[in-house]
Amino acid sequence: MTGLTSIGGQAATMTSREIADLVEARHNDVVTTIERLFDKGLLRSSRKTRRESTGGRPIAVYDLIERDTHLVVAGYSDEHRARVIDRWQQLEAERTGRDYQIPRTRAEALRLAADLEEQNAVLQLENQHQAETISSLESLFMVGETPTQFCKRLNGVNCAKVNSTLCQLGWLFNEQREEEGAPRYRVASRVRDKYLTERPRKIAPEGGDSFIKYDLQLLLAGAQRLHQLYMQQKLVMKATWDGRFTQAKYTGETIQ
């Protein structure tokens, strides 16, 4: 039985600069497309950029996984998309050749064993960090609170924009049909009971018709995902934000 493996455990990536070369486009235009797709929450790559020398002033480039590169070039010609596909096949062949290289000497075998041991140590540290992050989030999370209430404890988040951002991400939808009416947010089916749930309650205003209001309730997995979005700067921040990513633990005063 055979299967593809990667010793490094890292997904192969392609730079935005190389994508621009393959589709014969300006790098700035490719970056604009990438940032638009990031804003829509469609890309899974890291949003961090790095500086790359071009012979003149260094430029900021993105490193994208294969899935994301195909989304970026979806609007280009068949010929350009074919170039990207061919380049990925070349990268995969090169990586597979490196990954399956069998040690031919005792020294190579020892070096491979040392590399694997180092990679395993790094993975253990990453797992430990992830466990600590989850534990920290559990201390931030309070059962029954709304996404807005949770975000009040995340430094710099514009809490007035939280629900509208979640609408853009497909977590919520507004069932209010009247343009001037107050929003009536409901949980989208794809995240219901995964990230969010809702609690119905009857509202009977004096002199008006009664109606059912659905209170949003954040689940632990939703809190973890919200915190990821916060760290990735995908939530709307206040103009006065000091640039620090900090959070406050739950106290009774934070739920208002």
Per residue in 167-196, pLDDT tens?
999 999 998 877 777 888 999 999 999 999
How far is Cα of residue 205 from the mean position of the Cα atoms in its chain? 41
pLDDT digits (tens, 9 = 90+) for 229-238: 888 888 999 9
User: pLDDT-derived band of residue 228, with 50, 70 and 90 as boundaries?
Assistant: confident
Is the pLDDT at 254 greater than 80? The verdict is no
Q: Which residues pair with 59 in a beta bridge?
A: 52
Q: Are 29 and 73 in contact (CB under 8 A)?
A: no
Please tell me the predicted confidence (pLDDT) of residue 2.
Answer: 33
Distance (Å, rounded) from C-alpha 73 to C-alpha 111? 39
CA 63/CA 19 separation, integer angstroms: 10
Res 6: pLDDT: 40
pLDDT at 218 over 50: yes
pTM: 0.47
What is residue 255's predicted lDDT score, i.e. its pLDDT?
Answer: 40
Classify residue 58 as exposed, middle or buried by CB count within 10 Å of its CB (0-12, 13-18, 19+).
exposed
Over residues 188-217, mean pLDDT: 89
| pLDDT value at residue 4 | 32
pLDDT at 132 (0 to 100)? 52
Position 253 pLDDT exceeds 70: no
* Overall size of the chain counted in residues: 256
Confidence of residue 38 (pLDDT cuts 50, 70, 90): very high
Q: What residues does each domain of the chain span?
A: 13-99, 147-254
The model's pLDDT over 41-100, given as tens digits with 9 standing for 90+, comes to 999 998 888 988 766 678 889 999 999 999 999 888 888 999 999 999 888 877 765 555
Q: Round to whole Å and give the CA distance between 256 and 243.
A: 25
Per the model's pLDDT, the better-predicted residue between 50 and 208 turns out to be 50
